[in-house]
Amino acid sequence: MRALRFHSARDLRLEEVAEPGTPCGREVLIAPVICGICGTDVHEYAVGPFLTTVEPHPVTGGHVPQILGHELSAVVVEVGPGVDSVAAGDRVSVMPLVGCGTCAACRDGREHMCRLRAAVGLRHPWGGMGELALVDAGQAVRMPDELTWEQGAMIEPAAVSWSAVRTGEVSAGDSVLVTGAGPIGSLAAVAAAAAGARVLVSEPNQRRGARVAALGFDVIDPRAVDVTEACREWSPGGVDVAIECSGQPAAIQASLAALAPGGRVVQTGVPVRPTELDLARLMLSGLSIVGSVGYPIRCWPELMGEVASGALPIERVMTGRVAMQDGVANAFERLLDPSGDDIKILVDIKE
């Protein structure tokens, strides 16, 4: 079968690889249809191995060369004898995370916080950018008929943003600052708006900012204006919640400074380096800052229901679609362009 496999930095190859064997136990053999490219995939391609492992992962056995892709929709080809949740021919969206199953986080139902967590497409024998893959039955979630293949592939990044919005307790009438308009930031803006909030997005790339503004959001350029002052003009007294999606120290500091008394920063972007924080401001104004990593692994049915109903229009952030054979030149390299305007590019595995 064909697959896009990551070998090392700037070495991503479309290759012929052996197909998975017949599923056994609770395994499900799937044929990916659409796979999204995550910022993690792009970072791996640019400077990895980073999250991929050179040695076999202790839980999954996955290692480089790694078939990339953890944002995927697929059709079920065959199921193992212990599977009754899906059947051949079902359309599924894949929840890619894998925990060790034995640590305190896994036992408490917080598998997304497992220290040994892996994911399909990262630290796993299979990935979404291949024509076939084996996943556990619990990872293959049947899609509502109303969901498109594209929406099904975007459930995974949407889950990250949706979880961040929930962590921030965003509700109707809130004012929300989102810093960084990449896929997670753009989807966070969509999710916050769906919760009834007013949303202001801070994005230094003017072309990408224009894309987000075209979705109906207020957008500022942090290189051109003071983010804190802009937030206080936009929402007198400061914003209720800041969802920080860039990981940049300046954006983290601006998010905290932009809050109204009692406000919350949800740190969703991975910080690129240690950041100084004004803890006196945090204490005296009753502020809070909380990390949001991944998503509860059992949120797929609820989230897919919101997307299928039209309440959460995640497909609006899709900006490109390419065939698998064109993925390196027309997608990964494109997404590395710091002046590019793409937000979310999807790979068509069948084309």
Domains of the chain with bracketed CATH: 2-156+295-348 (3.90.180.10), 169-291 (3.40.50.720)
pLDDT above 70 covers what percent of the chain? 100
pLDDT band at 9 (very low <50, low <70, confident <90, very high): very high
Q: Per DSSP, what are the bridge partners of residue 27? A: 136
pLDDT at position 203, please?
98
Task: Say which residues have a Cβ less than 8 Å from residue 79's Cβ, sequence separation at least 6.
Answer: 23, 27, 28, 29, 86, 87, 88, 137
pLDDT above 90 for 200: yes
Mean pLDDT computed over 238-257: 97
Mean pLDDT computed over 99-109: 95
Average confidence score pLDDT of the chain: 96
Q: Could you read off the pLDDT of 121-139 as tens digits, one per residue?
A: 999 999 999 999 999 999 9
End-to-end CA distance of the chain: 14
CB 304 within 8 A of CB 155: yes
pLDDT at position 272, please?
82
The two most distant CA atoms of the chain are separated, in Å, by 61
Q: Could you give the CA distance from residue 212 to residue 206 in angstroms, rounded to a whole number?
A: 10
Q: Could you read off the pLDDT of 34-49 as tens digits, one per residue?
A: 999 999 999 999 999 9
Q: Could you give the CA distance from residue 64 to residue 168 in angstroms, rounded to a whole number?
A: 36
- Residue 216 CB-half CA count within 13 A: 11
Q: Could you read off the pLDDT of 260-289 as tens digits, one per residue?
A: 999 999 999 999 889 999 999 999 999 999
pLDDT above 90 for 318: yes
pLDDT above 90 for 351: no
Q: Could you read off the pLDDT of 156-192 as tens digits, one per residue?
A: 999 999 999 999 999 999 999 999 999 999 999 999 9
Mean pLDDT computed over 195-217: 97
Catalytic residues: 40, 43
Q: Which amino acid is at 74?
A: A
